[in-house]
Structure 1
């Protein structure tokens, strides 16, 4: 079989999801990246990005950060429930592990405050032998800041409210209600409160608390806003947990990319009946678009990893145990199964049932129209993806055993082995296509002979591959494991996930 030429449909971003942001003593904008497990510094003049806290160290899931008076950087490590201090000499020490899902963080002189992103969370002052509780009952806290009046301002994400409390404690005061999906509160240089929304429209609610009291809305179109910082000239720079990157947001709604946005993963990929390519990207379903190498958020659909299009329906798996169906017309989400062990690849059977690779349990499942879960096959090591051929025969990739199986009456039969961590699979034209993640390539397996042939090389992964996803830390999901999805189009070209983007693989002799 002739080789395939790979063409990126989207540019990779150097900030795979961007969360907390703060200006450092050197004038650069520091960015916490929860999904990437690292912290970077951005030169706003050039857009250059430097990793200053790499993945694989003690800081595992940085979500927000703030700088103290001496230049130390304080970081909330969301999933493990820790707060760290990175000293000016770059050494890192633990401040506390006595918090649950710490998120929002603020420095007030030499004092350090954090809040917890859980229902019934606390707002704490750290630094002593034990955390000091200023208040409890937060309906999921997040990014907070000291206001011009000397009080700490913070959101209640679940209730759409903003509160403030004196730094020495007291009774919290409601500042604003009915705020659109608040995720962060920030004050500009003029003392106007800016409340960022985590929704798809990128709304910023501006409240002139200390002047007219007026409330205005700005719709930026930046899906999944997470945090913001203002420079000395009162320019506003925002991050996105969904699309990553750093963007300057002007008061009139115009935007300017400083660090390009892109995929956080991506993970699974599918093609709908209209030929639209859709990728599951952890916090959303997104579409890679050309020209421009852009990534457009189709829907904010939390914890989407495997994906299969089915008419107006999108079926998605979450490594945190769920299988859901999303109706693109009604926007309704239906949970089909939960409590599974790391479900990944998903496909639709001819009768409408969903077939799912349950990686953590070594099984392949079928979920029927009544959401009854049955077992199609067992005895796998770590099944990652599933695919079906024109004759209704099912195939399963097993990255742990380096093999691809065909299910013959529920019994796995080896079709190909000695593969390098096979993940995404797809069937077309008498061949099974397989993404070998350990070898960085796509191969075909002849369904008649089992012969394996390389057809395309792939760029390296955009991030570290974790042994297992961090599941249900403190009752909330953690960081998922990367998954390299694969899909075949009607013209037999392929769409593969690799290198932080979606690639189109077409015959080398065809024009791009």
Structure 2
């Protein structure tokens, strides 16, 4: 297979992960996108999304937002630890850079409050001087809101609790316990507290604090809920850090899609022996069927390789883990690596990992002993093996693909544009040449490279490769275009916000 037919399995989303949401003065729903590094405005009537704060400006990792009384938008810039004000004319000023992982944010008249998403975090009021500490000891705070009683309500993500505190300070009061994985608190127009869960089932806990005291659960099926906003008709619109998009959630659990959900990346892709496609999508493992189906929320998933009932995963933050699909258990295989990316399984069951940040290819055996298979690379991104047991490595930095002869790396092809994912089919090594937006086929004998297919571009941004903005920003992964072999001498590629199936040109 050299020339390929390309078939998209999923539609891309214009909101690649959606976090904080708030209605702006113009009636549109504004959405912070941490992974994409931008803020969009959604027209709820059409679902159209306009990018109002693009990548490349002062805000790097927007996670939550709120609007002040003058129409200014305040944004928590999570990873750099900053809070910004965007005036109605579009200009930015820095409110503070003295907050650790600021996340939840709320405006009360002309007053501004934020909390920190860390253990032993703080809830702060920001003004012209030093931040005023209202409360400490937050067990990872997140999205908060002023309640009908004039108090600020906020979740403790680590302990499953909700607290409130007067805006002028005082002793925090516990108002709810045993709340399912709380990530955000919101009040509807009737004053009923809604606590969103970040779990797989998409649970919302409704607590009538100021009426009957009843507590009910709504299960939406929207994995990875992040935030919510109510319009003037008391309709609830929710975001998802895992699946993106914007969805209307009815009180009985019914949903209506406004802006479509989809992949946040995607990153690595693999195919198991039964032909099921599994995708590593940063916060989750997902399958590209019926759009995108979350099979497990598992931060942070980037490289992936199937091995029977096991899925082996890398995190660019330094981990290699094995997820057992039968028991839903996770075993850590290695920690503290330098940006591990592509992963594959050796014939003897050991794992082979491209350690991009250290220029090495590693092995991890059954006892979780880490060894070096080869080193001296620039930035190795992926690994693959052919039918004779020979290993291949893509080097994004040097624009080359190598064959490993023992511990010696021999150039198979060079002058490639940022090669990332690789896979062997027949007598060819297929390479995702991301700088050119192509999949190329490299003859394993001659090293000759020929174009096999175009990679999909990022949604709404023709020609942009890869999809996400992050290059070196702490806490945000670098893009990674994965390739995987499949039955029938075909391939799957994860790129451009979607997964595509590449089949030989002679096949339908």
TM-score where L is the length of structure 1: 0.97
Name the counterpart of 1:184: 184
**Is contact 1:420-1:438 (8 Å) kept?**
yes
Per-residue CA deviations over 1:210-257 (Å, capped at 9, x if unaligned) read 000010000000000000000000000000000000000011111000
Within a 5 Å distance, the mapping from 1:65-214 to structure 2 comes to 65-214=65-214
- Aligned pair partner of 1:485 in 454, 479, 482: 482
**Is contact 2:151-2:164 (8 Å) kept?**
yes
Alpha-carbon distance change, 466 to 66 in structure 1, aligned in 2, over 3 angstroms: closer
Within a 5 Å distance, the mapping from 1:408-419 to structure 2 comes to 408-419=405-416
Cα distance in 2, alignment partners of residues 465 and 303 from structure 1: 15
- Aligned pair partner of 1:337 in 315, 331, 334: 334
Per-residue CA deviations over 1:370-420 (Å, capped at 9, x if unaligned) read 000000000100000000011111000001111000111111000111111
**Is contact 1:18-1:226 (8 Å) kept?**
yes
- Aligned pair partner of 1:352 in 349, 353, 357: 349
Cα distance in 2, alignment partners of residues 69 and 216 from structure 1: 33
Alpha-carbon distance change, 500 to 338 in structure 1, aligned in 2, over 3 angstroms: same
Name the counterpart of 1:507: 504
Gaps of 5+ in 2: 460-465
Name the counterpart of 2:215: 215
- Secondary structure of the residue that 2:301 maps to in structure 1? coil
Shift, 1:448, TM fit: 1.5
Cα distance in 2, alignment partners of residues 208 and 343 from structure 1: 47
Shift, 1:464, TM fit: 5.4
Cα distance in 2, alignment partners of residues 460 and 146 from structure 1: 41
- Secondary structure of the residue that 1:190 maps to in structure 2? coil
Per-residue CA deviations over 1:447-468 (Å, capped at 9, x if unaligned) read 1121111111112245655573
Cα distance in 1, alignment partners of residues 103 and 116 from structure 2: 6
Cα distance in 2, alignment partners of residues 289 and 367 from structure 1: 32
- Aligned pair partner of 2:472 in 446, 469, 473: 469
**Is contact 2:265-2:467 (8 Å) kept?**
no
**Is contact 2:278-2:288 (8 Å) kept?**
yes
**Is contact 2:193-2:208 (8 Å) kept?**
yes
- Secondary structure of the residue that 2:357 maps to in structure 1? helix
- Secondary structure of the residue that 1:155 maps to in structure 2? strand
**Is contact 2:467-2:495 (8 Å) kept?**
no
**Is contact 2:36-2:469 (8 Å) kept?**
no
Shift, 1:510, TM fit: 2.2
Q: Does 1:281 align with 2:281?
A: yes
Cα distance in 1, alignment partners of residues 457 and 222 from structure 2: 28
Name the counterpart of 1:475: none
Gaps of 5+ in 1: 472-477
Within a 5 Å distance, the mapping from 1:312-461 to structure 2 comes to 312-461=309-458
Cα distance in 2, alignment partners of residues 464 and 100 from structure 1: 28
Per-residue CA deviations over 1:159-203 (Å, capped at 9, x if unaligned) read 000000000000000000000000000000000000000000000
**Is contact 1:4-1:455 (8 Å) kept?**
yes
Shift, 1:430, TM fit: 1.5
Within a 5 Å distance, the mapping from 1:188-267 to structure 2 comes to 188-267=188-267
Per-residue CA deviations over 1:132-183 (Å, capped at 9, x if unaligned) read 0000000000000000000000000000000000000000000000000000
Name the counterpart of 1:272: 272
Name the counterpart of 2:50: 50
Question: How much is the aligned-residue C-alpha RMSD, in angstroms?
Answer: 1.0
Cα distance in 2, alignment partners of residues 109 and 461 from structure 1: 39
Per-residue CA deviations over 1:79-112 (Å, capped at 9, x if unaligned) read 0000000001110110000100000000000000
Per-residue CA deviations over 1:43-74 (Å, capped at 9, x if unaligned) read 00111100000011110000000000000000
Cα distance in 2, alignment partners of residues 14 and 465 from structure 1: 12
**Is contact 1:55-1:464 (8 Å) kept?**
no
Shift, 1:333, TM fit: 0.7
Cα distance in 1, alignment partners of residues 351 and 21 from structure 2: 41
- Secondary structure of the residue that 2:113 maps to in structure 1? strand
**Is contact 1:405-1:413 (8 Å) kept?**
yes
- Secondary structure of the residue that 1:360 maps to in structure 2? helix
**Is contact 1:384-1:423 (8 Å) kept?**
yes
- Secondary structure of the residue that 2:253 maps to in structure 1? coil
- Secondary structure of the residue that 2:163 maps to in structure 1? strand
Mean Cα deviation higher: 448-457 or 114-123: 448-457
Cα distance in 2, alignment partners of residues 460 and 411 from structure 1: 35
Alpha-carbon distance change, 26 to 240 in structure 1, aligned in 2, over 3 angstroms: same
**Is contact 1:193-1:208 (8 Å) kept?**
yes
Per-residue CA deviations over 1:459-495 (Å, capped at 9, x if unaligned) read 2245655573333xxxxxx111100000011211110
